[in-house]
Structure 1
Amino acid sequence: MDYSAETLYNGTSVYVSGAHRFGTDAMLLSAFCRPRRAERAVDLCSGCGIVALRWHDLGHRGPCLAVEKEPEGTALLELARCKDPELAHILPLCMDLNELPGTGEEHLVAANPPYFTGGRASPSPARAAARHEGGCTLEQVAAAAARLLRDGGRFALCHRPDQLARVCAALAAARLEPKRIAFAKQEPDGAPWLFLLEAQKNRRPGLRFEPDILMADEAGRPSAQLQKIYKEGM
């Protein structure tokens, strides 16, 4: 397996391959909803483990399960753990999330699920699995999160804005009540390209809209808001 290393702001290394990389959406997700230092957390559809590793980089030290179906993604996270003993609290698990047993004990579950429901255009099976729903649908992700969470536990995900209604329906079916939402935009007057949503298990309705996340300033450079998120979280 060919791989390379990228370093997060506080020094945590993330190992990536051609099939398992990470983008801005994963960075925003890990900053939008993060566990307190000792809380129990799970990263579903973890890929190379970026969300779990970013949480660690931001100070999380509680038990953290990183669930990924593709063996190469799990191997990349195992490599990071082997090279950094401080990552011992993160447990990589190569498993189909549909077979994941529920603990009912987790404080936080996050997922950066596949966005597309159409055919697999990528020549790489691993990249296609990361981008297109197959054995990992939105509804299955929500159901797995619900099995894992304690009452009041939080579930966070990011997705495409045109899928917002479907996301809310899937969450409702899993007894996950939307509580916070933020939209990411390239510019203030532009349409959002991503939304970030936090839900809670078995809670009453009450959704809070948070300020938009602007990706670029007037000159087209990364915005001060985005730079702060990459350094400190949200």
Structure 2
Amino acid sequence: MNNIHLEPLGKGIEIYVSDSYHFSTDTILLADFSLPKGRKKCAELGTGCGTIPLLWLRHNKNLEIDAVEIQSDACALAQKSVEYNNLGDKINIVNADLKELKGKLSFGCYDLVVCNPPYKIGGGGITNPENAKLIARHETECTLDDICFTASKLLQFGGSFCICQRPERLADVMESMRKFSIEPKTLRLVQQRTAKAPKLFLLEGRRGGKKGFLNVLPTLFIEDENGDFSEEMMKIYGCYKTPFEELK
């Protein structure tokens, strides 16, 4: 791993990132959209360098989090951040394939599962020759069905599954959720600015939820009419001050 360094996440929390393992706007938005309130048992599938668990704990220390990641280098980096922030009693880094969690995590007991999945179908688009980025961006190690199946197994009845994806895959995500008894319940589109089409959606589903109602929230705009960060984005961005990337 090259260029390993600390970046601030606010409220005294810092994270180790590298050229291969880092975070984007999408990560920050998913962490905010899924932010658990109260005492909860949570899991992240494909945690990368562990950004979402750290962002959650920045706001709520009453969480028990299992963070699953298939890449050992990413796990080592995430573990380094956990130890640096003295959060070993809150975050458990699990180096495993999300398709093979039986016996590694307890099924049917999580209040919340989240995933920022690969955006491109395996074999689709231009592949990235760097393996870490290939796994992050293309469905080489898991599919949407793999993710939704595992989320459904982990969640207790009524538990929430939150995911972000590109708008062109909205039908795929909803179809996969329903296939594994997760009913889509809350949807939010994300646009860079008003003149642009949405580039991301955030979706929350409930394990065993009743069919027939989807709450569509107002669109989240990254920028205002002047090209600066919108007021809502600044609230989400909070006390993390380093400029972050465009939507990946």
Report the structure, 1 or 2, having the larger helix content. 1
* Matched letter for residue 220 of structure 1: G
Structure 1 partner of 2:194? 188
Structure 1 residue 219 displacement after superposition = 1.3
Alpha-carbon separation, structure 2, partners of 1:200 and 1:44: 17
Identity %: 34
1:52, CA displacement in angstroms? 0.9
Match of residue 104 from structure 1: 108
Q: Could you say which residue in structure 2 is the equivalent of 1:133?
A: 139
Deviates more, 1:159-168 or 1:99-108: 99-108
- Quote the residue 1:224 is aligned against: 231
1:211 aligns with 2:218: yes
Counterpart contact for 1:56–1:87, Cα < 8 Å: no
Q: Which residue of structure 1 lines up, in the alignment, with residue 117 of structure 2?
A: 113
Q: How much has 1:123 moved relative to structure 2? A: 2.1
Query: Within 2, Cα distance between the matches of 1:230 and 1:221?
Result: 13
| TM, length-normalised to structure 2 | 0.90
Asked if 1:170 corresponds to 2:171, the answer is: no
Q: Which moved more, 1:85-94 or 1:24-33?
A: 85-94
Q: Which residue of 1 aligns with 2:244?
A: none
- 1:135-188, Cα deviation, whole Å (9 max, x unpaired): 211110000100000000000000000000011000000100000000001123
Mapped partners of 1:119, 1:162: distance in 2:
14
Deviations 1:31-68 (A, max 9, x none): 00111232000011110011111111121432100000
- Indicate conservation of the 8 Å contact 2:128/2:134, yes or no: yes
5+ residue gaps, structure 1: none
In structure 2, give the amino acid aligned to 1:51. I
Unaligned runs of 5+ in 2: 240-248
Deviation, structure 1 residue 120 = 5.8
Number of equivalenced pairs: 232
Pairwise mapping of residues 4-83 of structure 1 onto structure 2 (< 5 A)? Answer: 4-83=5-84
**TM-score where L is the length of structure 1:** 0.95
Question: Given that residues 45 and 113 in structure 1 are in contact (C-alpha distance below 8 angstroms), is that contact kept between their aligned partners in structure 2?
Answer: yes
Contact 1:81 1:88 (C-alpha < 8 Å) held by counterparts: no
Cα pair 1:9 1:230 within 8 Å, conserved: no
Deviates more, 1:79-88 or 1:58-67: 79-88
Query: What secondary structure, in the 3-state scheme, does the structure 1 residue paired with 2:203 have?
Result: strand
- Secondary structure of 1:221's counterpart equals coil
Name the CA distance, whole Å, in 1 between partners of 2:200 and 2:191: 7
The residue number in structure 2 matching 1:179 is: 185
Kindly tell me: are residues 14 and 37 of structure 1, through their superposed partners in 2, closer, same or farther at Cα, counting changes over 3 Å?
farther
